[in-house]
Amino acid sequence: MKPWLFDILACPIDKHFPLKLYIFAYETKQSEFEIFLNVYENRDLVQIQKEEIIKIIEEDEKYYIRDNIIIEKNLIEDYLNLLLSSINELENIIDKSPYEFSKKCYDLIKTKIKQNIIEFSHKINIKTIEQILPELYFINKIKIDIEIDSGILLCEQCHRWFPIIQTIPQMLPDEYRDADKELEFLENNKNLLDENFFHQDLKPFNI
Strands (E), 69-185: 74-75, 93-95, 148-154, 161-165, 168-169
- The number of folded domains in the chain is 2
Q: Are residues 84 and 96 in the same domain?
A: yes
Give pLDDT, residue 167: 98
**Ranges of the chain whose pLDDT falls below 70:** none
Q: Give the domain range for residue 99.
A: 30-146
Choose one of 146, 165, 180: the last residue of a domain. 146
68 with 160, same domain: the answer is: no
Q: Are residues 204 and 189 in the same domain?
A: yes
User: What is the phi/psi pair of residue 168, to 5°?
Assistant: -105, 120
* pTM for the whole structure: 0.95
Evaluate whether 69 touches 143 at the Cβ level (below 8 Å). yes
Q: Are residues 14 and 55 in the same domain?
A: no
Whether 45 and 128 map to the same domain: the answer is yes
Indicate whether 48 and 132 sit together in one domain: yes
Instruction: Please name the residues in contact with 7: beta carbons below 8 A apart, sequence gap of 6 or more.
Output: 69, 86, 89, 143
Domain boundary among 146, 169, 187: 146
Q: How many residues does the chain have?
A: 207
Residue where a domain terminates, one of 146, 176, 193: 146
One domain, residues 56 and 142: yes
Q: Which of 139, 134, 118 is nearest to 3 (CA)?
A: 139
